[in-house]
Amino acid sequence: MTSAFRSLARLALVAVLGAAASVPASAEGLIRISQQFGTLYIPFHILRDQNLIEKHGKELGLDITVEWAKLSGGNAINDALLSGSVDIASAGIGPFFTLWDRTKGAVKIIGAFGATPNYLLTNKPEIKSLKDFGPNDRIASPAALVSVQARELQIAAEKEFGPGNHGKLDSIQVSLPHPDATAALLSGSTEITGHVSNSPFQEQALKNPKIHKVWSSYDILGGPFTPTVAYTTVKWRDENPKTYLAFFRAFEEATALAARDRKLGAATYIKIEQSKLDPAFVEEVISNPEVEFTLVPSKTEVFGDFLYRTGAIKTKPGSWKDYTFPELHSQSGS
């Protein structure tokens, strides 16, 4: 990277942060939330369907207006949070750490969405490991190089090719939302031959005999991992304490409901997403023993250490409590 490019990048970041600072804090009683694709977001579907934020707001003596934005990719979501377009961001732990690092800890995690595996899928029968991908193959994730799935691919590359080779497959990464990447993989008529996916798209794709799984993120990270989190700025939380508390309580209640009643979770997903998937299939997906709905982050320290060690972020995260709000600190996270 040239010094001129670095200067331009710094100026762009200053401009974005300045714009965020100039946007007036939303008044108590308004909350704007971003959401992405997948069954991992079922707690958001539940709190939305049952008006739980509004319910907890009333218990605190506050009428709350809730607005939703459907965005895909950590970069777009981080830009929306910094610009003041949304108050609550939901994205992978990788994009979160990127923003946490850039803002010097001015954003923190409210809660995780749960532990669920991401699968690397391929439509080429000859591909059994990362070494089998060639220069003409393309591997899709929501945001190439920076999404949580893209970072999982880098961690896998380091394990496959050795230390210092985490970027070995960066040149064949491409950005596509999960629904589009799934369609491309299933069609077999595009350059997309791999997809680091999520549920229910990965299970849907695996129904096709031409698709097979190369690995699970649980294999790569050594066990259950919470890949996606909800986060906000310290400033917004401080300036909107009742709205924040109503959201946290609603998120907590919805997560408990999702964990306790998978049939409810599946039905709510179908309803909110206006999905044509069979509810029984969605229930099967989220009833996988590997899936856990929980607010408590798991293995995020491992993920943060990888980002710091490889130079993706400049600040070593340390304990998970350093980058989460105190409402979670009585739990056993990692």
Amino acid residing at 168: K
249-263 pLDDT, tens per residue?
A: 999 999 999 999 999
pLDDT at 125 over 60: yes
Q: Is 162 left (phi over 0), alpha (psi -120 to 50) or beta?
A: left
Q: Name the phi and psi angles at 177, rounded to 5.
A: -60, 150
Q: pLDDT-derived band of residue 75, with 50, 70 and 90 as boundaries?
A: confident
> Is the pLDDT at 24 greater than 90, yes or no?
no
Q: What is the CB neighbour count within 10 angstroms for residue 165?
A: 13
For the chain, give the mean pLDDT. Answer: 90
Pairwise CA distance, residues 293 & 280, whole Å: 18
| Whole-number pLDDT of residue 328 | 96
User: Is the pLDDT score of 34 beyond 50?
Assistant: yes
**Contact between 151 and 92 (Cβ < 8 Å):** yes
Q: Give residue 142's pLDDT.
A: 87
Distance CA 115, CA 260 (A): 15
C-alpha span between 245 and 280 (Å, rounded):
34
CA nearest 64: which of 88, 86, 31? 31
Taking 90 as the threshold, does the pLDDT of residue 18 lie above it?
Answer: no
Percentage of residues in the chain with pLDDT exceeding 70? 92
Q: What is the pLDDT of residue 17?
A: 39
Tokens of 170: 């960066």
Q: Would you say 152 and 118 are in contact if contact means Cβ atoms under 8 Å apart?
A: yes
Separation of alpha carbons 118 and 172, rounded Å:
19
- Helix, strand, or coil (residue 147): coil
DSSP sequence for 178-238: HHHHHHHHHH--SSEEEEE--TTHHHHHHTSTT-EEEEEHHHHHTS----EEEEEEHHHHH
Rounded Cα distance, 268 and 277, in Å: 12
Residue 87, pLDDT > 50, answer yes
172-204 pLDDT, tens digit per residue, is: 999 999 999 999 999 999 999 999 998 889 999
Q: What pLDDT score was predicted for residue 10? A: 38
pLDDT of residue 234: 97
pLDDT greater than 50 at residue 294: yes
Torsion on CA atoms 31, 36, 37, 40, rounded to nearest 10: -70
Q: What is the residue whose two structure tokens read 């946490």? A: 100
Residue 14: the pLDDT is: 39
Integer Cα distance of 166 and 157 in angstroms? 5
Confidence of residue 70 (pLDDT cuts 50, 70, 90): confident
**Can you name the residues that pair with 119 across neighbouring β-strands?**
216
pLDDT on residue 151:
92
